[in-house]
């Protein structure tokens, strides 16, 4: 899988976690960031860029050295997620057009090898793919506290990461982007006119976001399969 590069986005402010930098929160003796990179290594993603807050660069470099992950290096991120992705692309430098770039949120630290493999397979076939989960709850649009309509959920999915793209597609899409702050990389690629396909995600590939999430991840990691699916 030498044509696959990761960009792990880990420069967020963790505001919803009470401004505690969640990538260093310990779970079963290992920080979130270590879990994330270990899972990617298990999936065959052994090289790429870790985009992190400038103040954490030395700590992150020490983590890479301790775990013998020489294929990864560290760069400082931006004030918004998409700026961190751009910093990661810049740090990667020019790549071959059809090399696969996987952009992953560090806070999704239980990503499975199966999800990564599905994304990579679809990218190699199509050029752009993301994992997603179906929406199971009823969805409604609301204005001023009043329901406006019920939205058919059969056409809705919940996007996850890693989101995968051919290098040329992701770089060209960001070059064209002028829509403000995108919600994810797939939006940037969609707006550039490239088709983005969906593969099956994983219920455990959730993002650690708020303190109430902590017991759920602890329970998954304490399960007999150690959080694997």
CA–CA separation, 177 vs 185, rounded Å?
Answer: 11
| DSSP state at residue 49 | E
pLDDT at 166: 98
Is residue 211 a part of any domain in this protein? yes
Instruction: Please report where in the chains the tokens 């199509």 appear, as a residue.
Output: 126
Q: Is residue 69, in this structure, part of any structural domain at all?
A: yes
Quickly tell me which residue has 């590939």 as its tokens.
Answer: 205
CATH of the domain at 61: 3.90.550.10
DSSP letter, residue 155: G
Q: Tell me what pLDDT residue 222 has.
A: 86
DSSP H or E stretch at residue 185: helix 185-191
**Residue of 135, 151, 107, 110 whose CA lies nearest to 198:** 135
Inside any domain, residue 227: no
Query: Residue 226: inside a domain, yes or no?
Result: no
Looking at the structure of the chain, the number of domains it has is: 1
Does 112 reside within a domain?
yes
User: Coil, helix or strand for 135?
Assistant: coil
Estimate to the nearest angstrom the gap between the alpha carbon of 197 and the chain centroid: 16
Q: Give the pLDDT of residue 226.
A: 62
pTM for this predicted structure: 0.94
Strands 128-134 and 157-159, sheet pairing: antiparallel
Q: How many residues does the chain have?
A: 229
Residue 210 lies in a domain: yes
d(CA 126, CA 136): 27
Report pLDDT for 17.
75
Instruction: Report the distance separating Cα 171 and Cα 8, nearest Å.
Output: 16
Query: Do 26 and 20 meet the contact criterion of CB atoms below 8 Å apart?
Result: no
How far is Cα 17 from Cα 13, in angstroms, rounded to an integer?
9
Render each residue's pLDDT in the chain as its tens digit; 229 residues.
569 999 999 997 767 677 678 999 999 999 999 999 999 999 999 999 999 999 999 999 999 999 999 999 999 999 999 999 999 999 999 999 999 999 999 999 999 999 999 999 999 999 999 999 999 999 999 999 999 999 999 999 999 999 999 999 999 999 999 989 999 999 999 999 999 999 999 999 999 999 999 999 999 998 776 656 5
Its domain, for residue 185, covers 4-221
Which one, of 190, 181, 196, lies nearest residue 83 by Cα?
181
Q: What is the pLDDT of residue 223?
A: 76
* Domain-located, residue 53: yes
Give the model's pLDDT for residue 224. 73
In this structure, are residues 43 and 113 in contact, taking their beta carbons and an 8 Å threshold?
A: yes
Is 35 a domain residue? yes
Place of tokens 């860029």: 49
Structure token pair of residue 69: 């992950």
């Amino acid at each position: 899988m030498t044509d696959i590069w990761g960009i792990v986005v880990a420069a967020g402010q963790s505001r919803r976690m009470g401004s505690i930098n969640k990538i260093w929160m310990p779970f079963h003796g290992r920080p979130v960031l270590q879990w994330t990179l270990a899972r990617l290594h298990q999936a065959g993603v052994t090289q790429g860029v870790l985009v992190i807050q400038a103040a954490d660069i030395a700590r992150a470099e020490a983590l890479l050295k301790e775990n013998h992950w020489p294929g990864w290096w560290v760069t400082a991120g931006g004030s918004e997620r998409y700026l961190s992705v751009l910093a990661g692309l810049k740090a990667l430098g020019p790549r071959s057009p059809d090399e696969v770039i996987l952009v992953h949120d560090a806070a999704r630290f239980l990503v499975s090898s199966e999800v990564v493999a599905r994304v990579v397979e679809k990218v190699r076939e199509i050029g752009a793919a993301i994992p997603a989960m179906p929406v199971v709850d009823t969805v409604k649009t609301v204005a001023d506290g009043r329901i406006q309509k019920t939205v058919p959920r059969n056409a809705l999915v919940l996007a996850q990461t890693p989101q995968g793209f051919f290098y040329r597609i992701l770089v060209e899409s960001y070059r064209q982007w002028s829509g403000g702050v995108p919600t994810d990389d797939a939006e940037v690629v969609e707006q550039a006119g490239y088709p983005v396909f969906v593969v099956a995600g994983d219920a455990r590939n959730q993002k650690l976001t708020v303190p109430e999430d902590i017991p759920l991840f602890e329970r998954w990691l304490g399960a007999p399969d150690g959080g694997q699916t």
